[in-house]
Chain A
């Protein structure tokens, strides 16, 4: 065969096929690092919540190590954290993940990136996957992050999870319109 297989939408009726029990629990008991809850709502261009979206995250462990053969860093894996999470939004568009703050991982030139999670958003009415990143608003290293630096200053706040309470972050995803989340071409 020749050529990539194209994307198609998830459609509205996916949860019986794709929802993993406890898919939002990324850090299992015993995982190293600062335990956090991340919660948010996915909204459309009219500000309405999406009851039929799927949010996936991918992250490094507390030591800044990914569970993947391409991560050749001499850092320890964490048996209690694989790094993948997947949840469907509820009828109010809400999602949440229970995880730990990831460690800093290297960027292209070896300089460290700020702690972040890779995020993929899928939904009825979305013909591809939207890709973004979640950073932490109270993280000083954001100022030196090479990927955040590529984002227009006035839109960077859409990538910063807000600290709502100790170890509790809020990350809303706006697909379109006011406060539209920055999405990446990867």
Chain B
């Protein structure tokens, strides 16, 4: 497996003034380019921690049903050749339907839901597919700028095939009016890349009389083709 440097504009620059918290947290010295040795070409590709049967169903982790709109979020994890990455760990975490995280530091005055923790994990199957059942998260305010609100999103964490394919990202929902004014999403320079973070409503993933389905495919670094180094 080879790992070309990502095309310009795909990932956000760490110095993104629209997102205030980047101000003191981005390196100012230039990154040092290094070749890929065995230390980079390997990585934690095996699942870590135990995965329980209901870990991919965030609506069944407590005695009662969580409040909100039940949804299915599913998709495939692919390498840059479009080939599925089987048996790779997918972790998600999110706010509840009211836009509140089950986290000690979140002081947004919206209700916690005793039946919703908001974290899930699963392994992709042999075709690279994953599937979660959850609740559509709410939008919530933050203090980045006056009247700032984050669009509804689900956080994703993936490992892929090596240390180089590690990805932390956020999935958004189609049509969310907060997306065009969100500094986090819009830190990504390339509009086409931004659109890849927006899930698609999928009638085929929707289960009749039960839950709407959204598809979110994820492409991680790594290709068997000769990389075009720039």
Contacts and interface: CB of A to CB of B under 8 A. Distances in A.
Contacts of A183: 27, 29, 31-32
Interface of B: 1, 3, 5-7, 10-14, 16, 19, 21-29, 31-46, 48-49, 78, 80, 82, 91-93, 95, 101-103, 105-106, 117-119, 155, 157, 162-164, 166-170, 184-185, 187-188, 190, 192-194, 196-197, 217-221
Interface stretch (A13-21, A30-38, A92-100): A13-21
B42 A70 contact: yes
Closest 4 pairs (CB-CB, A-B) = A17-B93, A125-B21, A68-B42, A84-B44
Contacts of B37: 105-108, 113, 146-147
Interface in A135-174: 146-147, 150-152, 155
Contacts, number: 228
Given A1-B78, A3-B7, 11 more contacts: A6-B190, A8-B197, A9-B19, A11-B155, A17-B91, A18-B93, A23-B48, A58-B163, A67-B42, A126-B26, A127-B12
8 contacts: A6-B169, A13-B101, A20-B48, A67-B42, A70-B41, A124-B21, A185-B34, A186-B40
Contacts of A18: 91, 93, 157
Contacts of A82: 44, 46, 48
A3 B8 CA distance: 12
B155 A10 contact: yes
Interface in A18-76: 18, 20-21, 23, 44-46, 48, 50, 52, 56, 58, 60, 66-71
User: B interface, by DSSP: helix, strand, loop or mixed?
Assistant: loop
B162 A184 contact: no
Interface residues of A, number: 74
A95 B190 CA distance: 35
A70 B102 CA distance: 39
A66 B193 CA distance: 33
A5 B219 contact: yes
A55 B13 CA distance: 20
A50 B80 CA distance: 34
B28 A177 contact: yes
